[in-house]
Structure 1
């Protein structure tokens, strides 16, 4: 796409040159701040939130997050108002939003209303572009990365004539919508691939792809199994391990995706560290590990590392390696977890209080195919997982490319680098 005939310096570091006929004004001449609060009329207003999806209505039927005791200090919001979050700017996922609903929003945000000759949608796209690139870093003050009200309203903003603003908004609405649709289709495809992977793994683990899978199972949570498969209680296949901890041992964690590895091999976000590692136990590669607290969500696998783990974990050794593969058993137990059966056998008042101990594990009846078939199933599942991971990663790269393209289009159009 082509640019404009001539340009002039904007004097704005993060903008550069702008079309010669565009103006530049301080924000205080483009929009005014709305300070009206809801007061005692708060029950009459719908609650709004500033999110990555824009300024949205909060779901009060299934509320999530924290709420204040009173909403009296919340600000009134009307359609076409611009809402800015001018604190924690670096960490906040989205610092600008265009309201589409009447409602109220936390008084910590800055609510503005554009003047008649300014399109709120145009300014939204402009500040969205700045937000996506975090281009206002030079304006931050204090430990919380605040852009003060005086600095913000004194900020210079480029703007074209009103008719051109409207053309730009119409163009971006169309292009952004098209790209969002393409992204949504790829995200949906990722979900379908995950569903397909789950079905293929379940089919492989229980021999459902075999013509012989027509024998009624004695296992409560498995309908049918191949006739030549056996079944044994876990206590006859595994014994609980109690290995000592060495000073050099790192912490091993069992994750919900079935990986059991050193915590240092994965991101630490969302995990707490024990101040006193009292009762920790040793783990070695090849052992079956059940995270008793997260087993219901599939945190069961075979350790790939030597280390130490929480006493809340159930660590097991196969009694006879020629009869049971820990990797196969882990696949079976994960299917049990994902089908909800672990929640059934572990009664608790709250989900987070669920625990599966060795005494819960020991009486479970597990399918036991011939050992060579167990190894073949494990290999097949690894191939399924690897194949789907390649497809998912490719789709994620394509999604990121689309998002980057979208950000580039918005940035170039709202600064006049592309003429529409």
Structure 2
């Protein structure tokens, strides 16, 4: 990789996902160098007088590169279980289910805690470094090997047996530690660059949102007479505009279905069902779909046409109700169970105007107030609430002028944003490649100075 040199001699590893490794490295098995402890099954009630409540970590708390330790839930555990399943800073946590193999080092734990049985706790035995293993697990996940190992066509589980039998490349301990320190330093530099660029994107998004919000609630003419809308969150609007409920502006509000689908996008000649990620801040992202394994005659009722307004029915509180407009007919793409398809009354409102209004802060106040759910991480909006939402309605000709203006102005924002996003993608690709090459011995970092 550019300025980094490889090792002098290599040998075959005999491992499918690994290829050749430096001649002095070992090819070994996980359980010989690391202790594995699967967590405790959830216990909601005490089972003896000695049981006590204790905080616990579950799979959702483990993200790549970070373990969330704030506001941990509690379960009951015996003194023996507390000792057996206890975790401490420096432990490596690996997801047993969900995104199998997702790994992070525990660094910021402030209270006595244990792990639930969706996590493995990993500690080094001898001549091994969990810091090196942390990066190696990221590389293995990127190869897709965990999906193969865990048969992800069904419910995936990375059992203790499968994890323990995993083949690993192992340099000498001092070299493992040097690789981990090198990657800590380099990934920190890359992450700081990415964070700066993401901050620029946030500023552009804020500018874009403010532009759209003003245009669809106040219009384009600065000196037009205004009137009180009578709605606290909307304020004044142009005197000749109206405010109407969604139910008077649309001809159809359709919820999708959840047919059996694969985890890969549909080919152009295949049927696909949209994922929630197909709708993003007013943008329709076509490739965010899953190929269908069955159709059940859904295509006629749930497919997409030019001008359909899509709205997410369920998501996190900040993302539920996200909207976009379909830019062209998509007869092979269907809406999923968590997406609504809205078809407007053409004489009254433009789909693009409704779509723009739904992503404004004013509309978000309606959406978030109506979102319901027992889980803080997933809420939904009902058709009943959507039909009662209030929308500004200028004359049709003025709607078109507003949309033409916004298309021009948002394009001026979107172009530099796209360049920044491309730069972020390249940085992430470089980060991944650097980790891969370091933990598999494609580059020799032993003599690389680290500040």
TM-score (norm 1): 0.68
User: In structure 2, do the counterparts of structure 1 residues 276 and 71 end up closer, same or farther at CA, with 3 Å as the change threshold?
Assistant: farther
Q: 2:329 & 2:382 partners in 1: Cα distance? A: 28
Decide which structure has greater strand share. Answer: 2
Contact 1:48 1:57 in 2 (8 A): no
* Aligned match of 1:95: 102
* Aligned match of 1:196: 207
* Aligned match of 1:158: 169
* Aligned match of 2:321: 297
Q: What SS does the aligned partner of 1:193 have?
A: helix
Contact 2:7 2:442 in 1 (8 A): yes
Q: 2:180 & 2:167 partners in 1: Cα distance? A: 20
Q: 2:16 & 2:305 partners in 1: Cα distance? A: 56
Contact 2:57 2:115 in 1 (8 A): yes
TM alignment of 1:2-401, pairs within 5 A: 2-34=5-37, 43-47=53-57, 49=59, 51-54=62-65, 56-60=67-71, 75-85=85-95, 92=99, 94-100=101-107, 101=109, 103-135=113-145, 139-140=149-150, 143-146=154-157, 149-150=160-161, 152-207=163-218, 210-213=221-224, 215-218=226-229, 220=231, 221-225=233-237, 230-232=240-242, 234=244, 241=251, 297=321, 299=323, 317=345, 327-328=352-353, 331-332=356-357, 335=360, 338=363, 340-341=365-366, 352-353=381-382, 355-356=384-385, 360=388, 366=392, 368=394, 372-401=397-426
User: In structure 2, do the counterparts of structure 1 residues 218 and 156 end up closer, same or farther at CA, with 3 Å as the change threshold?
Assistant: closer
User: In structure 2, do the counterparts of structure 1 residues 348 and 57 end up closer, same or farther at CA, with 3 Å as the change threshold?
Assistant: closer
User: In structure 2, do the counterparts of structure 1 residues 233 and 412 end up closer, same or farther at CA, with 3 Å as the change threshold?
Assistant: closer
Q: 2:303 & 2:180 partners in 1: Cα distance? A: 61
User: In structure 2, do the counterparts of structure 1 residues 42 and 214 end up closer, same or farther at CA, with 3 Å as the change threshold?
Assistant: farther
Q: Aligned-pair distance for 1:130?
A: 1.2
Q: Aligned-pair distance for 1:256?
A: 6.8
Q: Aligned-pair distance for 1:317?
A: 3.1
Q: What SS does the aligned partner of 2:15 have?
A: coil
Between structure 1 and structure 2, the one with the greater Rg is 1
Q: What SS does the aligned partner of 2:114 have?
A: strand
* Aligned match of 2:437: 412
Contact 1:230 1:367 in 2 (8 A): no
User: In structure 2, do the counterparts of structure 1 residues 157 and 199 end up closer, same or farther at CA, with 3 Å as the change threshold?
Assistant: same
Q: CA RMSD in A?
A: 5.2
Q: Deviation per CA, 1:47-88, whole angstroms, max 9, x where unpaired?
A: 354533346244437x7xxx9x75666822223223334x55
Q: Aligned-pair distance for 1:200?
A: 0.8
Q: What SS does the aligned partner of 2:8 have?
A: coil
Q: What SS does the aligned partner of 1:84 have?
A: strand
The aligned length equals: 387
Q: 1:92 & 1:35 partners in 2: Cα distance? A: 16
User: In structure 2, do the counterparts of structure 1 residues 118 and 301 end up closer, same or farther at CA, with 3 Å as the change threshold?
Assistant: closer
* Aligned match of 1:246: none
Q: Deviation per CA, 1:152-211, whole angstroms, max 9, x where unpaired?
A: 434443322332222211111011111122222333333322221110112223456644
Q: 1:330 & 1:168 partners in 2: Cα distance? A: 49
Q: What SS does the aligned partner of 1:297 have?
A: coil
Q: Deviation per CA, 1:361-413, whole angstroms, max 9, x where unpaired?
A: 7xx694636x5543221111223444444444443333332222111111111
Q: Deviation per CA, 1:223-280, whole angstroms, max 9, x where unpaired?
A: 4456xx5134649xx677589xxxxxxx99999769799x9x78567xxx9x999xx9
Structure 1 gap segments, 5+ residues each: 244-250
Contact 2:18 2:440 in 1 (8 A): yes
Structure 2 gap segments, 5+ residues each: 44-49, 254-272, 315-319, 375-379, 446-451
User: In structure 2, do the counterparts of structure 1 residues 71 and 132 end up closer, same or farther at CA, with 3 Å as the change threshold?
Assistant: farther
Q: What SS does the aligned partner of 1:182 have?
A: helix
Q: 1:96 & 1:180 partners in 2: Cα distance? A: 18
User: In structure 2, do the counterparts of structure 1 residues 282 and 401 end up closer, same or farther at CA, with 3 Å as the change threshold?
Assistant: closer
TM-score (norm 2): 0.64
